[in-house]
Structure formats: C-alpha cells, structure tokens
C-alpha cells in the first residue's frame, strides 16, 4: 500500500522478521531460552550457572532464560535434564475524555464486518445475535495509546488485568513486569488490532466491532517499535494462562497475537502448550512474508492461524472516500469477489494455515504521536485479519463457553468457505486496477464468516 492524500492516511502494518541463530552481529554470547524435562530445582540451577548466567525463571513452564557463551549452547542442549534450547527470537507486530457508549452494538457497519456477516452497512445492522458478552480477549501486542478512552468504552477494557512485559534479548535477557506501561504505547498497532474486536469511536461516531461486548485485556509484549522477543511473548502467554487457571476460571479466554517471526522458539512453544492445556484459545496472524512462508507462532498447529483476504469492491469508482462503510457486500459472501492479498504468508511444508479473514484496507484508530489528538488509518496485514477471527471465536465462546481450543479450531476449519486458487482484478486507491493471484497454499480451509461459525457451534 502507499500513502494517499485522503481523509485517512494509508499505511501497511508489516510483521518484522526474525534474525536466525548465528546471524551477523553476534558478540560471542547469546540469550538462550531453555526448556527442561524436570522442575527448575536448586540442583538444576547450580549446574546451569556453571555454564552462564541464569536470567529469568518460568516455573510454570519448567523453563528459564540464560546468557551464555555461544560455544556452550551445544553442551547445555546435551544435558540430560534439558528438553530443548533456542536463542531468544525477535517478534514484531493520564485521564482524558471518555467514550460515552458502553458498547458499539448499534454502531456503523463496515465492509470487513459485512464480509464476515457480522453487520450490513449502516447503523444498528448486526446480523448475528451474539456480541461476546462474558468472554475475555487478551490482546498480546504493543498495548494501547494514552488516548484509548477516546476510542473505546472504559467498561470494555479489563484494566484490572492489563499488564506489560519487557526485556528479552534486547535488554540483557531479563524479562520484567511493568504494570502501567500498557497504556502508554507510542506505536499504535495494538490499538488498531483492538478496534477490530471491540469497535471504536470515530470522532464521536460509533463503529461496530466483531465482538463489541467482550472484555479486552491489553498485554504489552512488543516495544515502541512494534518488535520484541519470544521470551517476553512467552511470559505474556503464561500470564494469561494463569488468569484462566485463577480468577478467570469461569470465563472463556481468547488470546490474539498479531505478531510473529521466522522460527518457533521452544519456550514460546512451551507457553502456548501450557495455555492451551489451561483452556485458552489462541489466534495468531499467519505473517506478511508472502511466498517466503508463515511466521510463528501462527504456523504452530495448535494455534488458529489467519491469512489476509480482500474484496474487489475496495476503492470502487465513484466511492473513493466512503466505499469502506457504504458499499454492500452481496449475500451470501461471494467467493468470486474475494481474494488473498499478495503479502499474506503462504503455508510451507510443516506449517499449519487454518482460515482467512479480511486483512486489507481496515480502518481503525492509529496515532503516530502520543497525546489526546485522535487519528484513523487504513492498515493492511495479517495483523488486521487475526482480530476478525479472534472476535468470531469470542462469539462462539459466548454461545458455548465450554468449547475447548481444539474444538474451536475444528469448527472454524469445517465452517470456512472454500476459496479456490485464482486471480482477481482489484481496484487500487489511485483509480487503476491490479491483478492479484494466489495458490492453494494461501487460503487454509477458506474464508471464515461469523454466521457459519456460529451455526456450526453446538449449544452447550
């Protein structure tokens, strides 16, 4: 996408890639994530401290982080009590006026919500009976802007559980908890992702969301540049899993991770397994690497991964300024008008791509500066596609709170509408058209819609 001179500035949100182990810039020491076959005992720690510095301990995961000399990694990996090791992997994704509405159920419908059959254009046009009430959604991302209360109702943000984690390989390896930093984001990615799930106030006009009555838990795991480390992601996932095992035991809990990198780190995998065993449902973006393959954790099989789709009605002639909320997507959602974006990651061998959802030209709040002034952008990326599916999962969990993560993934895959490989002529913002093509490796099981997912969700 390119910047255009319209009411909304256009940017593309791309996931940053991960440097592989052994990449240039090594100083002779590495930040290592270590998963054990046993508990983290004093005896184990004593042995490991003989090889380097132990930084952070993840008791729930039987794991820890270390700073060690590069030539000692293989020796540590060979210790009898060590399950797996991996270098910490990079990951990329004041009181003010408040929003008066308690939710955006009657808000404006947009093209992307029309595609997944949550709304029709106009106001008060929701097409599904569920709204996410009673479900918690953790958005592991960059946190929220200082001005989040101008975009979202305070009642919809679970501030009592909001958190921020920092550190990892970029900061001496130690993962730290910073309770208040989550609402001082300078990046904007997390605020935009949250807006798709909840809806938002567009300078006073309510815009609908996929699940406008969920309670969102902002968990900041990415820094102000929109990047971070797998050890920090793991800590955020573990934090939410422990909430599910504790105060949120009686509520469905979903995690959205619009982030990723090129490898699956063992401590991150351990955290995902721990959360899923606790009953947390995890949704992640597939990645923005096109034919280079999917990112992780999205490509990890137990995670529900999401590719980015688009609609040929984008920038339709005569509707350049308002197409995104005035044009009506034909019912039922026509697959001959849908396409897979060029940037959306294709699944390579051993990678698991589940479903597709709208991820091109999604409008939402996005600020380039901190402060009280609001602004709104079109963003495109699988980062924008994932929260559509997260919202749909929240609707499913409201209908049947007892669904397991495996059941949810199976229902989504079975309910998805097949999108055959092909090409579409798609209008561009400058008035031209462009042919966009994709193959069978780009769509997973197909485009998921809320009505189809809910119809396939059994009553409790």
From residue 281, alpha-carbon distances to 137, 190, 253, 403 in Å are 9, 19, 6, 9
Output the pLDDT for position 18: 29
Q: Are both 315 and 429 inside the same structural domain?
A: yes
Number of domains in the chain: 2
Tell me the CA end-to-end span of the chain in Å, nearest whole number: 44
Q: Are both 215 and 308 inside the same structural domain?
A: yes
Q: Are both 34 and 52 inside the same structural domain?
A: yes
Q: Are both 82 and 104 inside the same structural domain?
A: no
Rounded Cα gap, residues 20 and 344, in angstroms: 21
From residue 252, alpha-carbon distances to 69, 212, 219 in Å are 43, 15, 17
* Residue 4 within a domain: no
Of 88, 121, 139, the residue that ends a domain is 88
Burial 237-250 (b: 16+ CB within 10 A, else e): bbbbbebbbeebee
Q: Are both 40 and 124 inside the same structural domain?
A: no
Q: What's phi and psi for 2, nearest 5 deg?
A: -135, 160
Q: Are both 78 and 101 inside the same structural domain?
A: no
Sequence-distant (6+) residues with CB within 8 A of 278 are: 241, 242, 244, 245
Confirm if 387 and 216 have CB atoms less than 8 A apart.
Answer: no
Q: Are both 203 and 345 inside the same structural domain?
A: yes
Confirm if 280 and 241 have CB atoms less than 8 A apart.
Answer: yes
> Can you give the residue range of the structural domain that contains 226?
9-18+92-456
Rounded Cα gap, residues 385 and 131, in angstroms: 18
Output the pLDDT for position 17: 26
Of 88, 114, 136, the residue that ends a domain is 88
* Residue 339 within a domain: yes
CB atoms under 10 Å from CB of 322, counted, come to 10
Confirm if 209 and 104 have CB atoms less than 8 A apart.
Answer: yes
φ/ψ region of 320 (left if φ > 0, alpha if ψ in -120 to 50, else beta) reads alpha
Confirm if 82 and 37 have CB atoms less than 8 A apart.
Answer: yes
Q: Residue 416 has what DSSP assignment?
A: P
Sequence-distant (6+) residues with CB within 8 A of 28 are: 69, 70
**pLDDT truncated to tens, each residue of the chain (460 aa)?**
322 222 332 333 333 222 233 333 345 889 999 999 999 999 999 999 999 999 999 999 999 999 999 999 999 999 999 999 999 888 887 333 455 556 789 999 999 999 999 999 999 999 999 999 999 999 999 999 999 999 999 999 999 999 999 876 544 456 667 767 899 898 999 999 999 999 999 999 999 999 999 999 999 999 888 888 999 999 999 999 999 999 999 999 999 999 999 899 999 999 999 999 999 999 999 999 999 999 999 999 999 999 999 999 999 998 988 999 999 999 999 999 999 999 999 999 999 999 999 999 999 999 877 666 789 999 999 999 999 999 999 999 999 999 999 999 999 999 999 999 999 999 998 889 999 999 999 999 999 999 999 999 999 9
The CATH number of residue 42's host domain is 3.30.70.80
Of 55, 88, 121, the residue that ends a domain is 88
* Residue 129 within a domain: yes
Output the pLDDT for position 372: 67
Is residue 322 classed as helix, strand or coil in its secondary structure? coil
* Residue 281 within a domain: yes
- Rounded to an integer, what is the distance from CA 365 to the centroid of its chain? 16
Q: Are both 97 and 84 inside the same structural domain?
A: no
* Residue 2 within a domain: no
Q: Are both 82 and 226 inside the same structural domain?
A: no
Q: Are both 198 and 134 inside the same structural domain?
A: yes
What is the pTM assigned to this prediction? 0.88
Q: Are both 69 and 137 inside the same structural domain?
A: no
Q: Are both 176 and 49 inside the same structural domain?
A: no
From residue 375, alpha-carbon distances to 93, 150, 359, 437 in Å are 20, 11, 20, 33
Rounded Cα gap, residues 85 and 87, in angstroms: 7
The CATH number of residue 115's host domain is 3.40.50.200
């Amino acid at each position: 996408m390119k910047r255009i001179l319209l009411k909304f500035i256009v940017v593309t949100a791309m996931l940053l890639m991960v440097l592989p182990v052994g990449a240039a810039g090594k100083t002779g020491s590495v930040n290592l994530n270590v998963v054990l076959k046993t508990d983290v005992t004093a005896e184990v720690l004593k042995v490991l401290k003989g090889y380097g510095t132990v930084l952070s301990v993840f008791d729930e995961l039987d794991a820890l982080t270390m700073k060690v000399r590069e030539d000692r990694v293989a020796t540590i990996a060979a210790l009898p009590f060590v399950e797996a090791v991996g270098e910490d992997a990079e990951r990329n994704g004041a009181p003010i006026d408040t929003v008066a509405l308690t939710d955006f159920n009657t808000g404006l419908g947009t093209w992307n919500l029309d595609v997944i059959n949550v709304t029709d254009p106009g106001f008060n046009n929701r097409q599904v009976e569920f709204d996410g009430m009673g479900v918690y959604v953790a958005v592991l991302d960059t946190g929220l802007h200082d001005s989040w209360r101008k975009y979202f109702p305070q009642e919809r943000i679970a501030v009592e559980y909001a958190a921020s984690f920092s550190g990892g390989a970029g900061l001496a390896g130690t993962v730290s908890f910073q309770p208040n930093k989550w609402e001082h984001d300078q990046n904007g990615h997390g605020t935009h992702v949250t807006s798709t799930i909840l809806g938002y106030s567009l300078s006073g006009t309510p815009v609908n969301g996929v699940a406008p009555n969920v309670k969102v838990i902002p968990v900041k795991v990415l820094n102000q540049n929109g990047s971070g480390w797998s050890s920090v992601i793991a800590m955020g996932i573990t934090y939410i899993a422990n909430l599910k095992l504790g105060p949120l035991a009686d509520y469905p809990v979903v995690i959205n991770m619009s982030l990723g990198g090129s490898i699956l780190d063992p401590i991150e995998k351990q955290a995902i397994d721990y959360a899923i065993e606790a009953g947390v449902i995890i949704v992640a973006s597939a990645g923005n690497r096109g034919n280079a393959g999917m990112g992780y954790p999205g490509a990890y099989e137990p995670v529900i991964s999401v590719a980015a789709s688009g609609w040929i009605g984008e920038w339709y002639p005569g509707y350049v300024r308002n197409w995104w909320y005035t044009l009506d997507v034909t019912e039922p959602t026509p697959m001959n008008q849908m396409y897979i974006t060029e940037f959306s990651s294709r699944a390579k061998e051993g990678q698991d791509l589940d479903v597709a959802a709208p991820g091109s030209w999604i409008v939402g709040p996005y600020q380039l500066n901190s402060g009280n002034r609001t602004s709104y952008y079109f963003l495109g990326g699988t980062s924008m596609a994932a929260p559509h599916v997260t919202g749909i999962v929240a609707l499913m969990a409201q209908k049947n709170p007892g669904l397991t993560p495996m059941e949810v993934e199976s229902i989504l895959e079975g309910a998805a509408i097949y999108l055959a490989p092909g090409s579409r002529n798609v209008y561009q913002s400058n008035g031209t058209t462009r042919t966009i093509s994709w193959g069978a490796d780009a769509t997973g099981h197909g485009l998921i819609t809320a009505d189809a997912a809910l119809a396939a969700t059994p009553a409790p």
